[in-house]
Structure 1
Amino acid sequence: MKFHTQHGRPRRAWSGLVTGVILLLLAQVAIGGAASAATSAPTSTSAPTSTTGIPVIHNVAMDTVAAMQPSWNLGNSLDAITTETSWGNPLTTKAMIDFIKSQGFHSIRIPVTWSNGQSATAPYAIDPTLMARVKQVVDWALADGLYVDLNVHHDSWQWVADMTTQHDAVLARFNATWTQIAAEFRNEPKKLLFEAINEPVFNKATDAQKLQMLNELQASFHTIVRDSGGRNATRMLLMMTPGGSGDQSYLDNLAAQIKSMNDPDLAATVHYYGYWPFSVNIAGSPTFDAVSQKDLTDSFARFAAVFTSKGIPVYLGEYGLLSEPGSGTVERGEMLKYYQMVADQARAAHVTTALWDDGSYLNRNTLQWRDPALFAWIKASYTTYSGTVSTDQVFVPKSGTATARTLTLNLNGTRFGSLWNGSTKLVKGRDYAESGDQLTLTAALLARLTGSKAYGVDATLQVRFSKGIPWQINVLTSDTPVLSDATATIDSTSVFTIPTRFNGDRLATMEGAYADGTGAGSASWTTYQAFNSDFAPDYANNALKLNPVFLAALKDGVPATLTFHFWSGALVTYHVIKNGSTVTGTTGTSTTS
């Protein structure tokens, strides 16, 4: 399991178990991405509308998990290492749980790292203080009428991962852990669910060994809980794939195990963080394009084919993106399209979704959403597919004449309604033209909106459709960004800063290549490096940053050419060379596609 850090707080991210599968695709992505992005800034493609949903199957398990939609994760709290507040969130309060209930969530996933208060040797006793604290939070949620998913979380990589070489000790500790949890919660209401283990990984194991060990753990979990009596005899239990992956073979294995248990109160749980290159903005994938969309629709089609179409419920215990929503890694409009399609495909497949929140969505100190508009979009997506537009950014050159811009409407089953600038309804024929899936903003409108000639956002237009949330389009004044020469002495922690005048533009991605065409940067298999990992814009301080991971990967004494792709279509090249501890950067050429 990997962690990303935002503002010093570790966050849950993509499981390392699926990396091998993804890497098989990256060569194709790198080639395709380079071909499509080399001549212009990335552009969005139209998102397909909802697929036809499978027939609803009613049984106790399916209806129970359906009633849990939508769900929310209390992430980086009781699962934080080593205390509840270690990763930047405050102590969980009843008011916090009440707030989640008030926001329309019907269930809450409570990840717990039990090793925070458990002996590492037999009898593997859990500290009563930790157990009591977990029970307190669980009971607050149950008292609010929420369903609760309680699990064994980061223990999966802390000590369960050693099962390959320490089979008996790991199995004994796992059994002791669930024996204690089952005993403590045996009489809790049946709205409490147990999840065997979060994203299990097994060190130095083959796929066959991973499946064998996970099957053994989950079979033991099932027996322990059922034999503990009370309401545990029929409590809903969630079983997971290795790493939470939606790989076909993993899903098939889990389906076979659930079937073999002949227990009607079982459900499958998996995770989804999107197509990896898009989710972290690498390999020339800054947009929610056809490749990313297909990864999503294929994943939910598998969930439906293997599980829900056969009456086995699926709880998507974590979903989101691998980059923080406020980090700028994934452009906002592309992010909105992604979240909406996840919800749409989940509806079609009868999958319940649990938003992973490590504190990046809800400010748990103030009980306010950090980005209310983003949350409103996510909330609406649970029931409605809103119309979107091919972009949420229109750039008008300061140094040139405004020209008309034609955008694509992704109607998604809606009808175009009207176009607004704030509280002013714009006039069709004068301000815009609309026909079919085409929306044209006239040159006169854009010239009027950007008349101040100040760089940045001059106006925010609102496209209203027959249903759903309106789509926002920022109209920005910009010119081609200008980079300056720089030199610096670096060490392993240094950031190389390129003085930059962004001139109202926004960075989409960066390409790094040596003269032979190979990638320059930490991702040598692609020329397009990872946003915010290898490089990052610093708009407030007028700089582009080349981060330590990128600098460390540069070949000594070998010049590299960087191409910065901006959302306006501007391409700006820059040359860097590292000689020992000295990095020198010089300006290159600028073009506009």
Structure 2
Amino acid sequence: MKRRPTVLASVITAAVIGTGLAAVAPPASADTAGCSVSYAVQSRWPGGFTAQVSITNVGSPVSGWTLAFDFPDAGQRVSQGWSATWAQSGARVTAAGTGWNGSLGTNASTTIGFVGSWGASNPAPRSFALNGTACTGEVSPLPRDAMETVAAMQPGWNLGNSLDAIGADETAWGNPRVTETLLDHVRAQGFKSIRIPVTWSNRHGPAPDHTIDAAWLNRVREVVDWALADGFYVMINLHHDSWQWINTMPADRANVLDRYNALWSQLAGAFRDHSSRLVFESVNEPLFAGGSGDEQGYGLLDELNTSFHRLVRASGGANATRLLVLPTLFTNADQGRLDALKATFDRLRDPNLAATVHYYGFWPFAVNVAGHTRYDAAVEQDLVGTLERAHATFVTNGIPVILGEYGLLGLDHNRPGVLQRGEVLKFFEALGHHARSRNITTMLWDAGSFLNRTTLTWREPDLFAQIKSSWTARSGTASSDQVYVSRTGAITAESLTLTLNGTDFQGLRHGSTELVEGRDYTLSGTVLTLTAAAVTRLVGDRAHGVNTTVEARFSTGVPWRIGIISHDTPSLTDATGSTGSFAIPTEFRGDQLATMEAEYADGSNAGPHDWTSFKEFHATFQPDHGSGTILLKQALFDEVTDGAPVTLTFHFWSGARITYVVTKSGASVTGTANRS
């Protein structure tokens, strides 16, 4: 390569990280990591420079490495490099080893370099990381067993609806293309592991080889390498393949098994020499169609998991001891499913295995049906029971558990209002605590409803703050995060019951002002009461909606935000329409819809889920506060008797209940407001 003329005659040692190239580490055991780096500017001229980077691996031997660092100045760029594969995204620079220097034994070194440009200044990078390990010159122990590895993965995040999306490419389900900047941002939020779901169904060829598309495999490898360079533990799998073709195994066992084995053989070979922080998961949410039931499903899943284990281990390299993750049938924690997977572990007798289950909440609460609008004892019991069964079956027997996906089914930024915010906060606060107390690693399922991947901002910062806090501490909550005050009635004192969760109440704050106990509020046991005078001041001009918020603060965790809301009783108006489009004109008047009941004149339940009068939010009805309507869905009318009046009872969060009668006649619907 032709070099530019040297303007700066002397070599500038810009930074030496750790002990530099002279470092000689003690012999490294099989479970250590460590590195040192020397960075030197060799020549510089206006707007450009060359730099040399010398790397020494002082830990265990590595097969395949990526060095990562950040330029301190926004104008610094790598234009070309040598002895490594160089890439840059924003300030982050990565250099991956090539064939001739891709492996580094203990105390082995390699030197790489690049030509760069600079703008206002050209400072040296402040820190470097090799395969995610900070290059300080020190040797750090890596987790010695599966239990330690899984503990080091806490907390985790799912890159959902990207590489698992079914369609033309990874953007098919609405998320932008994955970038290094996205992964950097997620890492900066405190996540230590990332699950990268991958769907391979339409990304490989026909039998017998089922050759994976090279471009797709390279793209997956690229994202994996970025994540490893960020210091993540990374988990990849076969994702929607589970219901696209693996589920046909009862009727097509040989072909499914051949295809499954072909994919994992290729993946094991492709990632054979990757860092031990790369983790393989055999299959996502396995299910089998047309079979004879759970017992057959247990046998088929055991066959897949066993074959996966055999293929990966036999491929050698880092795969000989790589952490492998095996799911239960449907990836749920019913005791029979846990016991069946435990039998597989007992037979494999491999210390580098982990179990995985998923959890999306007590179903009636998670989708808002059957009147389960609150995080109550039934919701808590379901949560605790799920985690406790997984803990008792696996963790107490030395097998780590990864909650590979968790969330709430009805929590979707495209379907606002299904779940009340305060009740959602209680759920995530409790889940974090109960998982942590049982040594279960959690991986948040995020398909875009938590982190906006375009703006790299949390859609609900308070919710993420609660989730993050739950990783280390409990937070206090209350019976509600809403205080409804009649807009026209007399203002009175308002009370909430605190749930301390082992914390101590520290006080109330309004903005930057501390409220005064005795004057603004009182506390009797766990009953917190805002005085009438304080409520009068807080509601201000009493405009409909949230007038202001106050914060209850506790000794640990995040504050509990309480909205002070002015409202009048909502008003519904007569309407006509069709079963495919029926909207009730509604004046919400500061109130919010909680749920809806549907009953015939004789008191029997109407509509879908006829075992309950309370219908499923969004599936059968949906408020639109912006347009001032409540939309009744086709799914409701599909299961309503023609000509039979149905009384709908709308329950609002203020406590208001309003009835409305609808009658279907063929495809036509009439609606009448209650005049009482």
TM-score, structure 1 normalization: 0.88
Structure 1 residue 484 displacement after superposition: 0.5
- In structure 1, the residue matched to 2:161 is 76
> Which amino acid letter does the alignment assign opposite residue 313 of structure 1?
P
Match of 2:345 among 254, 258, 261: 258
Q: Aligned partners of 2:218 and 2:603: how far apart in 1?
A: 59
Match of 1:466 in 2: 555
**1:353-432 alignment runs, 5 A limit:** 353-432=442-521
Which amino acid is the alignment partner of residue 322 of structure 1? L
| 1:228 Cα offset (Å) | 0.9
Match of 1:65 among 150, 153, 156: 150
Q: Which AA in structure 1 matches 2:270?
A: E
Tell me the residue number matched to 2:530: 441
State how 1:178-217 maps to structure 2 within 5 Å. 178-205=264-291, 206-217=293-304
Give 1:468 deviation, angstroms.
1.5
- Asked if 1:117 is matched to 2:206, the reply is no
Partner secondary structure for residue 536 of structure 1: strand
CA contact (8 A) 1:518 1:526 kept: no
Letter in 2 for 1:160: I
Rounded Cα–Cα distance in structure 2 between residues aligned with 1:98 and 1:495: 45
Alpha-carbon separation, structure 1, partners of 2:631 and 2:578? 14
Q: Secondary structure at the match of 2:202?
A: helix
Other structure's SS at 1:396 match: strand
Counterparts of 2:190 and 2:543, CA distance in 1: 41
Distance 1:147 1:116 in 2: 27
Select the residue among 174, 188, 191 that pairs with 1:88: 174
Q: Deviations over 1:418-476 (max 9, x none)?
A: 11121221121121111221101112222222241211111101111122111000010
Matched, 1:245 2:302: no
* Cα distance in 2 between the residues matched to 1:589 and 1:339: 41
Q: 1:483 aligns with which of 561, 572, 576?
A: 572
What's the offset of the Cα at 1:331? 0.3
Q: Which residue of 1 aligns with 2:438?
A: 349
State the AA in 2 paired with 1:533.
A
Distance 2:422 2:621 in 1: 21
Alpha carbons 1:573, 1:589 under 8 Å: kept: no
The one of 386, 389, 395 equivalent to 1:308 is 395
- Check if 1:151 corresponds to 2:240: no
Query: Hey, what's the Cα distance between the residues in 1 that align with 2:556 and 2:489?
Result: 37
Secondary structure of 1:527 counterpart: coil
1:11 matched residue in structure 2: none
Q: CA deviation at 1:589?
A: 6.0
2:543 maps to a residue whose letter is A
Which amino acid letter does the alignment assign opposite residue 272 of structure 1? Y
Q: Deviations over 1:21-67 (max 9, x none)?
A: xxxxxxxxxxxxxxxxxxxxxxxxxxxxxxxxxxxxx9611000000
For 1:385, the aligned partner's letter is R
Q: Amino acid of the residue matched to residue 297 of structure 2? A: K
1:406/1:441 contact within 8 Å kept: yes
Give the Cα–Cα distance (whole angstroms) in 1 for the partners of residues 308 and 601 of structure 2: 56
Residue 371 of structure 2 corresponds to which residue in structure 1?
A: 284
How far apart, in 2, do the equivalents of 1:199 and 1:518 lie? 37
Structure 1 residues 391 and 170, CA, compared in 2 at 3 Å: closer, same or farther? same
Q: Contact 1:513 / 1:520 at 8 angstroms: preserved in 2?
A: yes
Secondary structure of 1:524 counterpart: coil
Q: Per-residue deviation at 1:129? A: 0.8
| CA apart distance, 1:311 | 0.9
1:119 is displaced (CA, Å) by 2.1
Using the alignment, how far apart are the partners of 1:357 and 1:418 within structure 2? 34
Point out which structure has higher relative CO (alpha carbons under 8 A, 6+ apart). 1
Q: Shift of the alpha carbon at 1:211? A: 0.5
Structure 2 residue matching 1:116: 3-state secondary structure: coil
Partner of 2:55: none
Distance between the aligned counterparts of 1:99 and 1:420, measured in 2?
A: 31
Verify: 1:274 aligned to 2:361, yes or no.
yes
Q: Which amino acid aligns with 1:261?
A: L
What is the rounded CA distance, in whole Å, between the counterparts of 2:398 and 2:201 in structure 1?
35
Q: Is the 8 A contact 1:419 1:462 kept in 2?
A: yes
Give the one of 184, 193, 206 matched to 1:107. Answer: 193
Structure 2: 5+ residue stretches without partners: 1-142
**Could you tell me how far apart the structure 2 residues matched to 1:518 and 1:350 are?**
46
Query: Is 2:621 the counterpart of 1:535?
Result: yes
| Equivalence for 1:224 | 311
Name the SS of the counterpart of 2:249 in structure 1: helix
3-state SS in 2 of match to 1:288: coil
Deviates more, 1:65-74 or 1:467-476: 467-476
How far apart, CA to CA, are the structure 2 residues paired with 1:449 and 1:140? Answer: 49
How far does residue 325 in structure 1 lie from its aligned partner after superposition? 4.5
CA–CA separation in structure 1 for the residues paired with 2:604 and 2:259: 48
- Using structure 2 for the length normalisation, give the TM-score: 0.77
Structure (1/2) with the larger helix percentage: 1
Q: Which residue of 2 aligns with 1:566?
A: 652
Residue 78 of structure 1 aligns to a residue whose secondary structure is coil
Structure 1 position 525, deviation (Å):
2.0
- Measured in 1, the distance between the counterparts of 2:221 and 2:144 equals 29
Mapped contact 1:239–1:267 kept (Cα < 8 A): yes
Q: Pick from 560, 564, 580: which aligns with 2:666? A: 580
For residues 360-418 of structure 1, the C-alpha deviation after alignment (integer angstroms, 9 at most, x for no partner) is: 11111121212222111111111110111110001001121112122101111111111
Which letter maps to 1:60?
D
Report percent identity of matched pairs.
Answer: 52
Instruction: Let me know the Cα RMSD of the aligned residues.
Output: 1.2
Q: Segments of 4+ in structure 1 off by > 4 A?
A: none
Q: Secondary structure at the match of 1:322?
A: coil
CA distance in 1, matches of 2:171, 2:345: 36
Structure 1 equivalent of residue 381 of structure 2: 294
**Secondary structure in 2 aligned to 1:114?**
coil
Which letter does structure 1 place at the counterpart of 2:654? S
Q: Which amino acid aligns with 2:213?
A: D
- In 1: Cα distance, 2:189 partner to 2:389 partner: 30
| 2:589 alignment partner AA | N
Shift of 1:488: 1.1
1:329 maps to what in 2? Answer: 418
Cα distance in 2 for residues equivalent to 1:330 and 1:589:
30
Letter of the 1:281 counterpart:
N
Q: 1:106·1:146 contact (CA, 8 Å) conserved in 2?
A: yes
Deviations 1:223-280 (A, max 9, x none): 0101111111111000001111110010011111111101000000010011000000
Displacement of 1:580 in angstroms is: 0.6
Whole-Å Cα distance in 1 between the matches of residues 172 and 529 of structure 2? 51
Return the alpha-carbon distance in structure 2 between the equivalents of residues 124 and 162 of structure 1: 17
Over residues 103-128 of structure 1, what are the superposed CA-to-partner deviations in whole Å (9 max), with x where a residue is unaligned?
Answer: 11100000000013112432211111
Q: Distance in 2 between matches of 1:171 and 1:525?
A: 41
| Deviation (angstroms), 1:135 | 0.5
Deviations 1:512-548 (A, max 9, x none): 1112333222222211111111101100111111012
Instruction: Return the index of the structure with the highest Cα Rg.
Output: 2
Match runs of 1:157-172 below 5 Å = 157-172=243-258
8 A Cα contact 1:61 1:266, kept in partner: yes
Per-residue CA shift, 1:176-209, capped at 9, x if unaligned? 1111111100110110000000001100221111
Going by fraction, where is strand more abundant, 1 or 2?
A: 2
Please tell me whether the aligned partners of residues 92 and 137 of structure 1 are also in contact (alpha carbons under 8 angstroms).
Answer: yes
* TM-aligned CA deviation for residue 495 of structure 1: 2.5
Which residue identity lines up with residue 266 of structure 1 in the other structure? L
Could you tell me how far apart the structure 2 residues matched to 1:120 and 1:556 are? 51
Q: How many Å apart are 1:555 and its aligned residue?
A: 1.5
